[in-house]
Amino acid sequence: MSKQQLKERGFTIIEVVLVLAIAALIFLMVFIALPALQSSQRDTARKEDVSTVASAINSWTSNNRGAATLTDTALRPYWENHVSRNTTTVNVRAALTAAQAVTVTDATIDIYPRATCGEQGGSGTFNLRVGTARQYALVTRVEAGNGSAFCQQL
């Protein structure tokens, strides 16, 4: 083989480095985007869990026709096998008598009878307002917004 054929054969070091740099950039973008995507999916599951528990409250209320007081134990059969692994606890809290800021925790849905959703409080809190006897506020913590709360009223 002549010297000219040897020079034309293969890739130069610059071409190899350029391809490796592009591949590294693609991997970096994937590793940065993946945790954000997973966080978003967990938040969506948490919000769906809140909707499931809201449906459970509606079912419980229909079955009991308002004759009994809502408790953790009474509500458990309605939601227990229908929420994601992101929710481990559902608590029925005391009915609100005055507007208050409530603290939200991970993997927990707190139900506040006689309450409506207000506005987002500081980190990990949500401001609730007093509602009617038929209103409930369901609050949980989401990852978006550095641990902000999500509230759904019913």
What global pTM score does this model have? 0.74
3-class SS string, 26-85: HHHHHHHHHHHHHHHHHHHHHHHHHHHHHHHHHHHHHHHCCCCCCCHHHHHHHHCCCCCC
Q: What is the pLDDT of residue 1?
A: 54
- 2-31 pLDDT, tens digit per residue, is 666 556 677 788 999 999 999 999 988 888
Q: Enumerate the domain spans of the chain.
A: 8-153
- 94-134 pLDDT, tens digit per residue, is 888 888 888 888 888 999 999 998 888 877 788 899 998 88
